[in-house]
Amino acid sequence: MIGFIANRLIRSVVVIFLISVVTFTFMQLVPGGPFSADAGGRPRAPEIQRRLEAEYGLDRPPVEQYITYMRRLLFEFDFGPSLRQTDYDVNQIMFGVDFRADPFHAPVLVSAQIGLYSFLLAVAVGIPLGVLSALYRNRWADHVAMFITTFGVSVPNFVLGLMLILLFSLTLQWLPVFGWGESWKQAVMPVLTLGTGGMALIARLTRASVLEVLGQDYVRTARAKGVVERTVIRKHAFRNALLPIVTIIGLQLGTLFAGAVLTESIFGLAGVGRMLFESITARDYPVVQAFTIVIAVIYVFANLIVDLSYVFIDPRVKLN
């Protein structure tokens, strides 16, 4: 186990390093620069642009820029200054200018809360819905479950978000459209918008996995021996169907955190997705690099947890 964890951690570091290199390279290849007019800023004289680029080290060779960036990150955990919001550095933008006074509105924590609540919704509803659909195959419960999951998979996030706003905010006036952290009502529509797709995907995969296991010989044998149906489902069917379900759940954990760009934009939430989109448009290289690394770390950590969970779900699995 220790050797496996050490091996995966080394691979994870390599993956994160390669992601940082690719992100930095692509940002360098984007036409224009953070201080040019095409980045959304006001037009500047060429000499002012050159002075600003020299001040932030953008006039140096790309390799030297990357080495300087990584040295600061590894030894000081400093993502550097923002090129768009020049009064703040990237750490302040990610965690909030005044994190201690207002922690709930820090972009990283806003996205983390939305992603966590959406993840819990997807798992808590998706797995029971998939199991129910498999147990009552081709009956009314299965048809209802498949209608819900098909709707969840087919409707894009931004369409679902607008539908929820029209229904619950404009028509019924039950929920607020904007805001975060003041009331639980502010979280309902963003979490539903982001979590519905993941819920539908988990439910459909759970249904397929459980149906496959229910057709195995050992399940038929357990039923023939007179084992209680609840025990057959819980110990024989569901546990053996968990491996693919856990895999998709681990992927969803990273996807929900990274895929909130449209959701945060619809509901006016200042989270990682919205900040990342604005930073890419403004050519704010350090912010894009920082958010990309954070999202990569979450994906890598989620996959490591999934791999470790295989052993506890199925002792026959060997870690290599």
**Cβ(168)–Cβ(189) below 8 Å:** yes
**Closest C-alpha among 271, 133, 288 to residue 193:** 271
**Closest C-alpha among 34, 51, 46 to residue 85:** 34
34 to 20, 25, 28, 125, 271: CA distances (angstroms): 19, 15, 11, 44, 21
Instruction: Report the 10 Å Cβ neighbour count for 77.
Output: 8
Give the pLDDT confidence score for residue 147 in this predicted structure. 92
Q: Which residue has the higher pLDDT, 181 or 128?
A: 128
114-128, 134-148, 191-205, 300-314: least confidently modelled range = 300-314
Query: pTM for the full model?
Result: 0.78
Report the pLDDT averaged over residues 259-272. 76
Q: Tell me: the pLDDT tens digits for 273-282?
A: 777 777 777 7
Question: Distance from CA of residue 203 to its chain's centroid?
Answer: 18
Collect all residues with Cβ–Cβ distance below 8 Å to 139 and sequence separation of at least 6: none
pLDDT of 86 strictly over 70: no
Q: Which residue has the higher pLDDT, 314 or 81?
A: 81
Tokens of 168: 């619950």
Identify the band that residue 202 occupies on the pLDDT scale cut at 50, 70 and 90: very high
**Closest C-alpha among 109, 28, 13, 11 to residue 288:** 28
Identify the band that residue 100 occupies on the pLDDT scale cut at 50, 70 and 90: very low
Q: Which residue has the higher pLDDT, 276 or 210?
A: 210
The count of C-alpha atoms lying within 13 angstroms of the C-alpha of 319, restricted to the half-sphere facing its C-beta, is 20
d(CA 174, CA 172): 5
Tokens of 254: 């990273």
Q: Tell me: the pLDDT tens digits for 212-264?
A: 888 888 888 888 888 887 888 877 778 788 888 888 887 777 677 666 677 88
